[in-house]
Amino acid sequence: MSNDHIVTFSSHYSDSILQAMSFPYLEYSVRDDGLLNEFPLRFHKYDNITIIDILTGEEKIIETKSGEKVIYLDDKKAITYYKGEYIYYHIDNWEKYRSEKADEINCHSVYRFESCGDYIFVFDKNYSKLLNRIAIN
């Protein structure tokens, strides 16, 4: 949330049976609520990002590609995981401005994405192993 916008997202999983409303928390880390943390990426369908202008009430909805998972979100940018890459977008026009390889990710596993300061830390399911550190800026 900024002074003039509220940014939320929702995750959609296989067959639309498993869905959860999600909000950026703490320092804009993205985490699905409830049991959805336990599902491998292969069950993820897409995410919707909703940007609400507080002053006008206008809503803008961005839908990610099929299989694209939001791992970081703020009122200026979003970072997603999609087909072996971390992709950086400008939130205002949803234009890609950078990407990085994500060799540590496979779609059959569960991962934790936590942001702290200027980085996203990629952990395995149990936070027992740090797999990668991704720069936010």
Q: 46-75 pLDDT, tens per residue?
A: 899 999 988 999 999 999 998 888 889 888
| Separation between Cα atoms, residue 65 and residue 87, nearest integer Å | 12
Q: What is the pLDDT of residue 133?
A: 96
Closest CA to 81 of 95, 61, 101, 63: 101
Q: Which amino acid is at 51?
A: I
Q: Where are the domains of the chain?
A: 5-108
Q: Which pTM was predicted?
A: 0.78
Q: Which amino acid is at 53?
A: D
pLDDT in tens, 78-124: 999 998 999 999 998 999 999 999 999 876 677 888 888 899 999 88
Q: What is the pLDDT of residue 2?
A: 61
Residue 20: pLDDT band (50, 70, 90) is very low
DSSP, res 23? -
Residues in the chain: 137
H/E stretch holding 99: strand 95-101
Residue 26: pLDDT band (50, 70, 90) is very low
